[in-house]
Amino acid sequence: MERRWWVIDLKDKVLGRVATNIATLLMGKYRVKEYLPYKDNGDFVICINAEKIKVTGKKEESKFYKRYSGYPSGLKFIRLDRMRKEHPERIIYYAVKGMLPKNKLRKRRLKRLKIYKGEKHPHQAQKPVKIEEKIWK
């Protein structure tokens, strides 16, 4: 099976809608005749302009990401606007991770997701195909 490479420009795209489409590409669900839920036959996805993604409503101030160090009182909360300044790639990563099925294939599928801040990415040799606007509407 040959895996394809896709490029998605996240500029002015809504986070949840893009995350579901990226998860579909990573799982290979759009390949109707080849898709099996227990097989990993998805594609590579390159996301550019991660810092320019949109969120709807008041999520910029009210959405929190949490992490736990394992030590007592080691629970940390980071708001979405701060995460956008420091690590905008993680916003997309966590959204796509939540959209994928919670099984042994999730970690392997997430390795095929490449997220970058700006326009440039180091995967030109793979000849990725840019996804058109009409697919995401």
- Give 12-56 pLDDT, tens digit per residue: 999 999 999 999 999 999 888 999 999 999 999 999 999 999 999
State which amino acid sits at residue 18: V
CATH of the domain at 131: 3.90.1180.10
CA distances to 43, 99, 135 from 30, in Å:
10, 15, 12
Q: Please check whether residue 86 is in contact with residue 20, taking contact to mean a CB–CB distance below 8 angstroms.
A: no
Residue 109 falls inside a structural domain: yes
The whole domain housing 104 covers 5-55+88-136
pTM above 0.85, yes or no: yes
State which amino acid sits at residue 90: R
2/124 Cα distance (integer angstroms) = 17
- Number of independent structural domains in the chain: 1
CA distances to 21, 40, 64, 128 from 26, in Å:
9, 9, 25, 14
Q: Tokens 């996804």 map to which residue?
A: 131
Residue 63 falls inside a structural domain: no
Residue 131 falls inside a structural domain: yes
- Give 54-91 pLDDT, tens digit per residue: 999 999 999 999 999 999 999 999 999 999 999 999 99
Query: How does strand 129-130 pair with strand 64-68?
Result: unpaired
